[in-house]
Copies of this chain bind each other. A is one copy, B any other.
């Protein structure tokens, strides 16, 4: 029993670590797709048509936005964001991930550097920095870990309260 127990435990622990790494990679792929303005790759990071349709299964809240639900609304929102963004780069910090069965909850801080409209053609508009905290929920599917829900919101407080202790 002891021998079996250890081997089962080792295997479970190795599988948990593989899950965690796979979720982190899926999360990274989402932000790289956004940086590259690759709408197809963004769509591919989300639950596919097997698990979500135009009304259900994909839930997205961009900073300051209402809830978007279903693949059509979510994809359309990214099209709008990409159309208004010349340049965007994400520096992710505080990435934390917990896997429970076929669900993974990941939170991160998106330190965003982005540029909007340029004043002259071919030029880059002024770059602005922003800080957003995101809760990203992934589901295990036959195609890998896919985004079920994304909720991003601007950080407006200093966060000193939580550091006091």
Chain A residues proximal to chain B, CB less than 8 Å? 56-57, 59, 61, 63-69, 73, 76-77, 80, 94, 96, 98, 100-103, 105, 107, 109, 133, 135, 137, 139, 148-149, 151-157, 159, 161-162, 165
Closest to A63 in B: B153
Please give the count of copies of this chain that the complex contains.
2
Q: Are B156 and A80 in contact (CB under 8 A)?
A: no
User: Residues of B contacting A165 with CB < 8 Å?
Assistant: 76
CB distance from A130 to the nearest CB of B (A): 13
Residues of B within 8 A of A139 (CB): 100
The CA-CA distance from A109 to B67 in the complex, in Å, is: 8
- Cβ distance A156 to chain B, nearest Cβ, rounded Å: 3
- List the 4 shortest-distance A-B pairs measured between CB atoms, nearest first: A153-B153, A64-B156, A66-B159, A151-B151
